[in-house]
Structure 1
């Protein structure tokens, strides 16, 4: 079994060497940092099992570094603070921010070993680093998004998040979610139609998130409206996301106007990845570090040119596409560092795959739309509608509820139309 890794951060060389020798004799791997800058750099590349962190250091005090790790989503390991001038107030403050415990210098041997052992056991229960709104970026648009979400968090009103797919709506919803309370990403939309109140009872005092509200059919929309109207009674926050123009859908009769009115009470726009490009280098490092911490791939540094290339690339797939590219780079690059050539290689592969998919889709569409244009108008229209409905039926695996939703027709109207066109709907 690999030895547990302890990072000791202290500006006094005597303390560092003493702790190094004691912990190494106990079978731990010990890494040393003489100031906050070294500790910060070390944490960017790896996740130790435990950090012993001095409070008083010349470049940055330990409390500030602890706060920095906490707000940056990097406080995923136990931290024990150390100080020769400790006070009760300092210990309380450190614990409030996220420190596991506090050791006062000079540190007694038995107290040190007991605390280290308890901290490591506690660390086994902590979640590893994962993407969150805290490490999504520092650009103005992200900072303002966090501020607005913090304001919204003061109430439990329903929230509508508007933005491109995979731009971070779920991260926003998780930001509003209170730890230890129920959480649901609702993808089984039939539950809205069948038993919306049961959902509220099951996830009482928690948060229910619908990634895309525009895909709900009329019955499911009515169910969501009922769920929202009763949510406050059960202490449930409802957060919905959409990448569609809901007002236009409501004007066309596809989306329930009353539901739109309720959702429009509180709305926030979620920026695309390309709207905060300056955050992409830090995001790339964060994703790479998470892969290393979960043992999915060894950590590799990025050179400056590779980060510039990532920042300037097109990201139509937003965060999911960036995550795929970083995984690819970490797992397939040959050198110790990710280079510009590595980034270009992977980005070109994605571009070629997309171009090929677009070509195939266009070719299939052209083949399918072979209609005799010399037919009378009514017959030509029927031929087109037949192709249109057959395409949608095939696309959703003959799920007629989804077909009705996608083509914006009531089920009874849809069945009548299919019968008129001679389309059999039984498998």
Structure 2
């Protein structure tokens, strides 16, 4: 049941409004002063507050509203007054009032206004809860040097409209990076539209991306919007870009160049404003060398490169990830949060995680669902498979070049984190020319200011 608070210094008005609103199914509390109102909201949650501007004693209604907002109260507030004027209405609105009604009150209008305010507040709270759930689902966990540098890079790049290419092994969290960029961008209030090229049959990818007209092919019984059109004014995330066919690549190149396209079966162009973020777990340079990916498309997509490190290169983040997934899956399954012993955490922290964060996530979910014990020890963990010993940093790479690149990348990220992303200061401390450091960073997929 929604609760309403009526704040008015006239007892007759308070009682009349209470009777009418209780008949409409609301729970109602009463207050005669602003001070009483502020005390009641500390103890109770109200969907709506009817607040008189001119109160007999103590602070007036406008100052009460101001204090409510300063203290973070999110109830919908309807201001009422027997001395209504434009100035008071404007002040109320600026302070966050939902509406302003004058005395003598029309009971019918008051009821309608209260119902509208309650409905609006319910929608806002539901949306806030959904946003929080999404934020919890896609949070980036970890305080390793690599993760701090990645978050810093995201904060620098996100406000722009530059295209981003995210590279990394399967399960490292490339979609999380894409969502983080979107959530910090000027398009954050628009949709985050995604498509996985590897998950859609090749003959349907073009239709999914660009849409189709009615009768364009067998089974096209009606026209359909493609992802590009849906993402107009928003962000489009192209996952597994390396799996696109040469035909789709050619059309994609034109869309990126002109920001326009024709749906399948149509010759009528559609112009869009789309920020493209793409991701791949493949080596696009090797695909280009083998003739399986267009080099000109690569350069269009790879304006700002991101490299997401595998979990084996940030094993110090494993305990925090265990805690995060433990809380998430315990909550999702209505269970009490479990306690992982130090030995269990150490075992999980020493595993190489070939499936990266996704593998760790699945492991913790399995433990939460399948284990009835409250304390999780080594013997309660599922068989992890593969080796569980940390590899020597010198021997975990197949080639000298990859080992050298990995070391240099880690070293540069450490220096950038030390100097808060300042490339000039990092270069000075490292004893190298700034332009040389910029070139090396670009080659390693590191972005800095």
Q: Which residue of 1 aligns with 2:31?
A: none
Q: Which residue of 1 aligns with 2:432?
A: none
What do residues 309-363 of structure 1 show as CA deviations (whole Å, max 9, x unaligned)?
21111201012111110011112223211112212xx034x559xxxxxxxxxxx
Cα offset for 1:185? 1.9
Q: Which residue of 2 aligns with 1:157?
A: 162
| 1:412-427 equivalences in 2 (<5 Å) | none
Aligned mates of 1:229, 1:296 — CA distance in 2: 50
Q: Which residue of 2 aligns with 1:347?
A: 383
Runs ≥4 residues deviating over 4 A: 86-92, 99-102, 118-125, 129-133, 189-192
| 1:13-28 equivalences in 2 (<5 Å) | none
Equivalent residue pairs, number: 259
Q: 2:357 aligns with which of 316, 319, 322?
A: 319
Cα offset for 1:135? 3.6
Aligned mates of 1:210, 1:129 — CA distance in 2: 20
What do residues 285-317 of structure 1 show as CA deviations (whole Å, max 9, x unaligned)?
111211122236442121222112211112010
Question: Does the C-alpha gap of structure 1 residues 190 and 176 become closer, same or farther in structure 2, counting only changes over 3 Å?
Answer: farther
Aligned mates of 1:322, 1:121 — CA distance in 2: 36
Cα offset for 1:216? 0.9
Which moves more between the two structures, 305-314 or 321-330? 305-314
| 1:330-345 equivalences in 2 (<5 Å) | 330-343=368-381
Question: Does the C-alpha gap of structure 1 residues 181 and 162 become closer, same or farther in structure 2, counting only changes over 3 Å?
Answer: same
Question: Does the C-alpha gap of structure 1 residues 251 and 22 become closer, same or farther in structure 2, counting only changes over 3 Å?
Answer: closer
Does residue 219 of the first structure (1) align with residue 247 of the second (2)?
yes
Q: 1:267 aligns with which of 288, 292, 305?
A: 305
Asked if structure 2 preserves the Cα contact closer than 8 Å seen for 1:196 and 1:223, the reply is no
Cα offset for 1:255? 0.7
Q: Which residue of 1 aligns with 2:288?
A: 250
Question: Does the C-alpha gap of structure 1 residues 315 and 182 become closer, same or farther in structure 2, counting only changes over 3 Å?
Answer: same
What do residues 144-201 of structure 1 show as CA deviations (whole Å, max 9, x unaligned)?
1111112111221221101101101000111122444122221346555346374322
Aligned mates of 1:234, 1:168 — CA distance in 2: 28
Q: Secondary structure at the match of 2:314?
A: helix
What do residues 346-402 of structure 1 show as CA deviations (whole Å, max 9, x unaligned)?
034x559xxxxxxxxxxxxxxxxxxxxxxxxxxxxxxxxxxxxxxxxxxxxxxxxxx
Asked if structure 1 preserves the Cα contact closer than 8 Å seen for 2:340 and 2:375, the reply is yes
Unaligned 5+ segments in structure 1 are 1-17, 27-85, 103-117, 353-427
Q: 1:183 aligns with which of 181, 192, 201?
A: 192
Question: Does the C-alpha gap of structure 1 residues 260 and 203 become closer, same or farther in structure 2, counting only changes over 3 Å?
Answer: same
* TM-score normalised by structure 1 residue count: 0.52
Structure whose alpha-carbon radius of gyration is higher: 2
* TM-score normalised by structure 2 residue count: 0.50
Q: Which residue of 2 aligns with 1:308?
A: 346
Cα offset for 1:240? 1.0
Aligned mates of 2:322, 2:296 — CA distance in 1: 42
Q: Which residue of 1 aligns with 2:206?
A: 193
Cα offset for 1:22? 6.6
Aligned mates of 1:310, 1:291 — CA distance in 2: 17
Asked if structure 2 preserves the Cα contact closer than 8 Å seen for 1:167 and 1:318, the reply is yes
Does residue 148 of the first structure (1) align with residue 153 of the second (2)?
yes
Does residue 168 of the first structure (1) align with residue 173 of the second (2)?
yes
Question: Does the C-alpha gap of structure 1 residues 89 and 283 become closer, same or farther in structure 2, counting only changes over 3 Å?
Answer: farther
Aligned mates of 1:281, 1:199 — CA distance in 2: 38
Question: Does the C-alpha gap of structure 1 residues 157 and 121 become closer, same or farther in structure 2, counting only changes over 3 Å?
Answer: closer
Which moves more between the two structures, 325-334 or 176-185? 176-185
**Structure with higher helix content:** 1
Does residue 279 of the first structure (1) align with residue 317 of the second (2)?
yes
Aligned mates of 1:336, 1:120 — CA distance in 2: 37
| 1:20-59 equivalences in 2 (<5 Å) | none
